[in-house]
Amino acid sequence: RRFGKTMAMNMLNSFLDIRKDSRHLFKGLEISDEVEICEKWMNQYPTLFLSLKDVDGTTFENAFNMLKFVISSLCSQNSYLETGENIRENEKDIFSRLRSQTASITDIKGSIVTIMNMMQSYYEKPVILLIDEYDVPIAKASNNGYYKGMLEVIKGMLSTALKDNSSLKFAVITGCLKIAKESIFTGTNNFVSDTISSTRYNEYYGFTQQDVDKLLADAEIEEKAELIKEWYDGYNFGEFEVYCPWDVMNYLRDLQNDLNARPVSYWKNTSDNAIIRSFIDYTGAAIR
């Protein structure tokens, strides 16, 4: 958590979304030197970006209502689809229910694939799907006693969107917890899981030593390097030693105001560790 997953997803959305002109955002960055990649991918595909971070509630009903609100907001962001000439009327009807928050559980389970089908019909191109914090609704449900009900809904949403979906170009999904493929991604083909122990993307999440050295040089406080390493280094992603960006950036902010500011653990109060606590409680006193 706080290692840049959501920022990376926002970056992908800005780079890929056909509705945007993102040349100014990436001008001067390394990707702008990759002319063929930019011509092929930059703002060339309809892109659907959904975050499930706010789907929470003490009961299934409350959480499901929050999910309906999130889907409604997604529909509002894509309201142009309601007037698309090439879009089927039954899909427009479902879209209208999703947007007005009158959708049934069945509508919600098929919501992502419905919107993607409409986008493909509108743009005549397959859709790139980005889902951030996919595990939050399930983790919250586990904490509050409605795991099976929420799992059924999220599984329905993801399986219809990812399996045998002709509207899908590709999907990128992020989360903090690795939920078993058998429980939520059943039947999904070509599904590849990358974790902090994988090797493909390790250097792109968190700050590497080179990143921190550059930040300190830009801020002209290189003398704080050892202190920052002592406090905020210590993560190992495959072959890379990684700093927590949240801690580093917050401490640099404090140093801008006071060069004698003491480092603290900014990260420790930013997440809910209820699931970890439940596992510790389950193992009993011996493991503690």
Distance of alpha carbon 60 from alpha carbon 65, whole angstroms: 8
Q: Are residues 129 and 92 in the same domain?
A: yes
User: Residues 144-173: pLDDT tens digits?
Assistant: 999 999 999 999 999 999 989 999 999 999
> By the 8 A CB rule, do 107 and 97 touch?
yes
Domain count, the chain: 2
The model's confidence at residue 234, banded by pLDDT at 50, 70 and 90, is confident
Determine the longest span between alpha carbons in the chain, in angstroms: 65
Q: Is 33 exposed, middle or buried (0-12, 13-18, 19+ CB in 10 A)?
A: exposed
Q: Which two tokens stand for residue 28?
A: 């001067």
Residue 7 has pLDDT above 70, yes or no: yes
Q: What is the pLDDT of residue 4?
A: 76
> By the 8 A CB rule, do 124 and 173 touch?
no
Q: Are residues 103 and 234 in the same domain?
A: no
Per-residue pLDDT averaged across 222-227, rounded? 94
Place of tokens 């599904």: 191
Q: Are residues 78 and 180 in the same domain?
A: yes
Q: Are residues 124 and 9 in the same domain?
A: yes
N-to-C CA span, the chain = 24
Domain membership of residue 190 (yes or no) is no
Angle at 222 between CA 7 and CA 257, to 5 degrees: 70
Distance of alpha carbon 69 from alpha carbon 137, whole angstroms: 13
Q: Is 135 exposed, middle or buried (0-12, 13-18, 19+ CB in 10 A)?
A: buried
Q: Are residues 17 and 148 in the same domain?
A: yes
Q: Are residues 115 and 221 in the same domain?
A: no
User: Which residues make beta-bridge pairs with 241?
Assistant: 236
Q: Are residues 41 and 144 in the same domain?
A: yes
Distance of alpha carbon 157 from alpha carbon 159, whole angstroms: 6
Residue 269 has pLDDT above 60, yes or no: no
Which range is most confident: 68-72, 172-176, 273-277? 68-72
Amino acid at 186: T
Q: What is the pLDDT of residue 255?
A: 94
User: Residues 169-214: pLDDT tens digits?
Assistant: 999 999 887 766 556 776 666 777 777 676 677 777 788 889 999 9
The residues, any chain, with a CB within 8 Å of residue 69's CB and separated by 6 or more, are 101
Per-residue pLDDT averaged across 267-283, rounded? 58
For residue 207, the Cα-to-chain-centroid distance in whole angstroms is: 18
Q: Are residues 212 and 175 in the same domain?
A: no
CB hemisphere CA count around 46 (13 angstroms): 19
Residue 275 has pLDDT above 60, yes or no: no
Residue 270 has pLDDT above 70, yes or no: no
Q: For the chain, what percent of residues have pLDDT higher than 90? A: 69
CB hemisphere CA count around 73 (13 angstroms): 11
Nearest CA-CA partner of 48 in 112, 121, 122? 112
Residue 284 has pLDDT above 70, yes or no: no
Domain membership of residue 148 (yes or no) is yes
The model's confidence at residue 280, banded by pLDDT at 50, 70 and 90, is low
User: Residues 106-125: pLDDT tens digits?
Assistant: 999 999 999 999 999 999 99
Residue 237 belongs to what domain range? 206-268
The model's confidence at residue 268, banded by pLDDT at 50, 70 and 90, is low
> By the 8 A CB rule, do 192 and 207 touch?
no
